[in-house]
Amino acid sequence: MDAINQLQTFIQKVDDPSLQTTFQNLHQGYVTETLTRFLKARDWDPSKAYQMLIDSLNWRLQNEIDNILSKPIIPAELYREIRDSQLIGVSGYTREGLPVFAIGVGLSTFDKASVHYYVQSHIQMNEYRDRVILPSASKKHGRPITTCVKVLDMTGLKLSALNQIKLLTIVSSIDDQNYPEKTHTYFIVNAPYIFSACWKVVKPLLQERTRRKVQVLPGCGRDELLNIMDYASLPHFCRKEGSGSSRHLEGGSENVYSLDHPFHQQLYDYVKQQARLREAVAPIKQGSFHVVFPEPQDVDTRIAKKIESEFDNLTLNGDKERLNNLTETQI
């Protein structure tokens, strides 16, 4: 508690009104929980946590992050293509009220738009989570809910995923430096052997608190996930053993990735509504919302290089097609 009080004292002394405003947008009324997240990210060192927080607030100001939820990706056809190639959505909530983010790591191609559109979409998802989903869940449950769980589907993960490492490193750096400690647990499902091989080299590079958050589940993880959420909240790729994942599951309302899913309809409608409120001031412009990419942290760079090295080894030492398709249990 001393560290929290010290960090809060530092922040209260910031006399820049713009920084204070963006700090309010960041904490959404949950000041203690927000300061705790930044302290955890800097091993409870108030001075380092303060510098991290100030850097993040300046990043928000420089990139107009407070306004990003009023900048829709248009036309809608482009946004649909982004949703079909950047596979992410909210399938429901755990029994404790944490939102469940489903992410199709293996089948995301990131090949329908520029990097800037994908980064814009990712930040919009973060901001919608922090400004709409989590405050709503907190109100419903009568207590602060400031984190989520993520279910990462590795179906379809192949050696060609190496092409996406640059974009994933950018996204990871944005999250690490500006949205720290927002994920309670990462559940890995449908993991092929190639994931297991990479996980062995990446795991030692992660901090202990991050390693503790990662759980690699057998198969589609259905039975294990049902211990913390109801069947209705399971991502579609976890609902049936051997079902795997699909970009275009029958019925868009069932496929959590689809623009037709209720979550994405609500998110897109919200952004368009916010845009209409601002339109009198500044007309909506077509084109991506350019965000300055932060320099990757050393650990992100080391992880990317380790993965590249491991992929090279797999390509040189094994049958590429066999490695792409084998599951962990088959090896």
Dist CA 71 CA 24 (whole Å): 20
Two tokens, residue 122: 């990712």
257 vs 167, 196, 239, 328, CA distance in Å? 19, 25, 15, 25
Residue 141: phi, psi to the nearest 5?
Answer: -95, -5
Q: 197 near 317, Cβ under 8 Å? A: no
Sequence-distant contacts of 264-269: CB under 8 A, at least 24 apart = 264/83, 264/89, 267/124, 267/125, 267/128, 268/72, 268/76, 268/79
Report pLDDT for 254.
Answer: 78
Q: How many CB atoms lie within 10 A of CB 143?
A: 10
Q: Mapping DSSP to helix (H, G, I), strand (E, B) and coil, where does residue 129 land?
A: helix
What's the pTM value of the predicted model, to 2 decimals?
0.86
Question: Would you write out the chain's pLDDT as a tens digit for each of its 331 residues?
Answer: 799 999 999 999 999 999 999 999 999 999 999 999 999 999 999 999 999 999 999 999 999 999 999 999 999 999 999 999 999 999 999 999 999 999 999 999 999 999 999 999 999 999 999 999 999 999 999 999 999 999 999 998 876 666 677 788 889 899 999 999 999 999 999 998 888 887 887 888 788 888 899 999 999 999 999 999 999 999 999 987 544 444 444 444 579 999 999 999 999 999 999 999 987 666 655 566 677 766 655 655 565 565 556 555 655 455 444 444 444 444 3
The residues, ordered by sequence, that sit 6+ positions from 67 with a Cβ below 8 Å of its Cβ are 278
Q: How, if at all, do strands 99-104 and 88-93 pair?
A: antiparallel
Report pLDDT for 30.
Answer: 96
- Maximum alpha-carbon separation in the chain: 60
Two tokens, residue 241: 């053993």
Q: Mapping DSSP to helix (H, G, I), strand (E, B) and coil, where does residue 281 land?
A: coil
Report pLDDT for 220.
Answer: 95
Beta-strand runs (E) in the chain: 88-93, 99-104, 148-153, 183-189, 214-216
Dist CA 170 CA 294 (whole Å): 7
> Could you give the dihedral angle defined by the CA atoms of residues 226, 229, 232 and 238, in that order, rounded to the nearest 10 degrees?
-50
Q: How many CA atoms lie within 13 A of 294 on its CB side?
A: 24
Beta-strand runs (E) in 13-163: 88-93, 99-104, 148-153
Preceding amide of 75 cis, omega within 30:
yes
